[in-house]
């Protein structure tokens, strides 16, 4: 093949790669990257100890506001704690909750969804009725019950998230598997005597991985808001641990005199959830063949 022909073929490929790069959601990726960096290196990045009390600096406004100090760029709360340092520390809780929701809830939901879709009949009926019952119970009501049985903590939040969100994965995975099990390669594997676990791992799981990945990405923002809601209501993270929802709860009594104390963690929650949703939309458009733009 001549160099001219090679250049002719490679030019469209280069344009296609450039077009794919330009469609990347750079701003959401940047925001989520900052979140992960804060979660990993928060202790090194925080300018102050996020739990240290300094009543002499209580309700200090942000650095750009009259009376503020750039030593506390986003101001301080009612106990003199640096808001920027607490937002950085709270990022770790958000990342832990998001990862837990993806791994545990997605794993449980995928297993039960594959079982329901593959075996059908009684197995499908039982699993789907459990899903219906679980989805009919309000998540906050479930959190209230668990908070009564268990003490409010990160563990309680993670348990509630696992119980609440696995059903969404199970319902969607079941629909995918019902379609996949009709394919020729699955039927041939069953005729050849391939065991069910091997069929699940080799034939079903790789084909539903894109769906799981997109669903997990879209639910990152939901679980972060859910954790913040539980902590705000006193059912989740407790002092001296740091959570964005707990920061909102601590600052609600001072909203008229210290707007920054409740606004800054609120902005952190908003930006994180918006970035996660936009990134999830991009993942869906990229990996869903029906939505993919060539």
Whether 253 and 246 have beta carbons less than 8 Å apart is answered as no
Weakest mean pLDDT among 21-30, 39-48, 158-167, 260-269: 21-30
What is the pLDDT at residue 294?
A: 44
Assess if residue 280 is contained within a domain: yes
- Name the residue range of residue 222's domain: 35-287
What is the pLDDT at residue 136?
A: 86
Whether 228 and 269 have beta carbons less than 8 Å apart is answered as yes
Straight-line distance from the first to the last Cα atom of the chain, in angstroms, rounded to the nearest whole number:
27
Assess if residue 17 is contained within a domain: no
CATH number at residue 208: 1.10.3720.10
Assess if residue 218 is contained within a domain: yes
- Residue identified by tokens 């908070």 is 147
Judged against a pLDDT cut of 60, whether residue 289 lies above it is answered with: no
Model pLDDT for residues 58-117, shown as the tens digit of each residue: 889 998 988 888 989 999 998 899 999 999 999 998 888 888 878 888 889 999 999 998
Which carries the bigger pLDDT value, residue 212 or residue 147?
A: 212
What is the pLDDT at residue 293?
A: 46
What number of H helices and E strands is found in the chain? 12, 0
**Proportion of the chain above pLDDT 90, given as a percent:** 21
Assess if residue 12 is contained within a domain: no
Whether 151 and 87 have beta carbons less than 8 Å apart is answered as no
Judged against a pLDDT cut of 50, whether residue 279 lies above it is answered with: yes
Judged against a pLDDT cut of 70, whether residue 292 lies above it is answered with: no
Quick one: pLDDT band at residue 267, thresholds 50, 70, 90? Answer: very high
Chain-wide mean pLDDT for the chain? 83
What is the pLDDT at residue 9?
A: 47
The domain tally of the chain equals 1
Tokens at 94, concatenated: 């958000």
Model pLDDT for residues 200-218, shown as the tens digit of each residue: 888 888 888 888 888 888 8
Assess if residue 188 is contained within a domain: yes
Q: What is the mean pLDDT of the segment spanning 246-252?
A: 91
What is the pLDDT at residue 81?
A: 92
Assess if residue 149 is contained within a domain: yes
């Amino acid at each position: 093949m001549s160099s001219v022909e090679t250049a002719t073929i490679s030019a469209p490929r280069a344009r296609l790669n450039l077009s794919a790069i330009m469609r990347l959601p750079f701003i959401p990726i940047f925001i989520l990257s900052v979140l992960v960096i804060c979660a990993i290196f928060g202790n090194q990045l925080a300018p102050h100890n996020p739990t240290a009390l300094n009543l002499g600096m209580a309700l200090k406004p942000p650095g750009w506001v009259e009376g503020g100090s750039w030593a506390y760029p986003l101001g301080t709360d009612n106990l003199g704690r640096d808001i920027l340092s607490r937002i950085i520390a709270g990022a770790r809780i958000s990342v832990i909750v998001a990862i837990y929701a993806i791994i545990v809830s997605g794993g449980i939901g995928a297993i039960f969804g594959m079982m329901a879709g593959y075996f059908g009949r009684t197995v499908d009926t039982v699993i789907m009725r459990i899903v219906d019952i679980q989805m009919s119970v309000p998540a906050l009501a479930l959190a209230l019950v668990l908070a009564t049985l268990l003490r409010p903590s990160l563990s309680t939040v993670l348990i509630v998230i696992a119980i609440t969100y696995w059903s969404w994965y199970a319902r969607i995975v079941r629909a995918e598997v019902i379609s996949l099990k009709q394919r020729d390669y699955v039927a041939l594997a069953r005729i050849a005597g391939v065991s069910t676990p091997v069929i699940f791992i080799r034939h079903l799981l790789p084909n539903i991985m894109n769906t799981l990945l997109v669903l997990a990405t879209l639910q990152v923002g939901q679980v972060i808001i859910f954790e913040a809601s539980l902590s705000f209501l006193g059912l989740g993270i407790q002092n001296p641990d740091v959570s964005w929802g707990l920061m909102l709860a601590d600052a609600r009594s001072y909203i008229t005199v210290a707007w920054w104390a409740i606004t800054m963690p609120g902005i952190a929650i908003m930006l994180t959830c918006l970035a996660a949703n936009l990134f999830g939309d991009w993942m869906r458009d990229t990996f869903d063949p029906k939505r993919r733009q060539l």
